[in-house]
């Protein structure tokens, strides 16, 4: 792709945008390779929709423990739309099928709707044998998280949850 960029002799903002895209693709490839070498998993992709904004999805899992202990899965989702604003969701799934979720919604209305739907979500997950052990809904933007593969765990933030 870099060869195409240089061969096209593009200039201006289009060149900068294409360079950023190529850098992101290469970065994701390196991240996945590093994770694979450590027997970890890291998949990052964007799911486009015809009638809605795309959703960025990132699955990651640490290496299986020496004692055969299964690691926690972490699933991160992000979207930004006119209707619901910016929305981030971090879900952790344990080997016991316990689920913990943190939702960051920059619009108060979206955070309130998520709070109203919490019991319905819990019931839906139970139908599939999953147990929602923790749900935190924040009316805030998600704090910046360092790029690269990191072990699953809590993210520090200074925002308050809804009452």
> Residue 14: what pLDDT?
59
93-123 pLDDT per residue, tens: 999 999 999 999 999 999 999 999 999 999 9
Q: Is 51 exposed, middle or buried (0-12, 13-18, 19+ CB in 10 A)?
A: exposed
Mean pLDDT computed over every residue of the chain: 81
Q: How far is CA 53 from the centre of its chain?
A: 15
Radius of gyration of the chain (CA): 19
Rounded to the nearest 5°, which phi and psi values hold at 53? Answer: -70, 155
Q: Tell me the pTM.
A: 0.68
* Beta strand 85-93 pairing with 55-61: unpaired
Q: What is the SS3 assignment for 15?
A: helix
| Cα–Cα nearest to 155, from 102, 77, 86 | 102
């Amino acid at each position: 792709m870099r060869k195409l960029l240089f061969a096209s002799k593009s200039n201006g903002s289009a060149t900068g945008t294409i360079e950023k895209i190529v850098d992101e693709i290469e970065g994701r490839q390196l991240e996945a390779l590093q994770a694979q070498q450590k027997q970890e998993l890291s998949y990052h992709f964007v799911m486009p929709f015809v009638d809605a904004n795309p959703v960025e999805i990132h699955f990651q899992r640490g290496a299986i423990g020496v004692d055969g202990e299964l690691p926690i899965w972490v699933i991160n989702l992000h979207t930004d739309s006119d209707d619901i604003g910016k929305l981030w969701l971090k879900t952790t799934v344990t080997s016991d099928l316990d689920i913990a979720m943190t939702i960051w919604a920059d619009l108060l209305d979206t955070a309130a709707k998520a709070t109203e739907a919490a019991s319905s979500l819990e019931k839906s997950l139970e139908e599939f044998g999953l147990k929602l052990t923790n749900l935190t809904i924040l009316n805030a933007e998600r704090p910046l998280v360092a790029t690269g593969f990191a072990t699953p765990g809590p993210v520090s933030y200074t925002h308050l949850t809804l009452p």
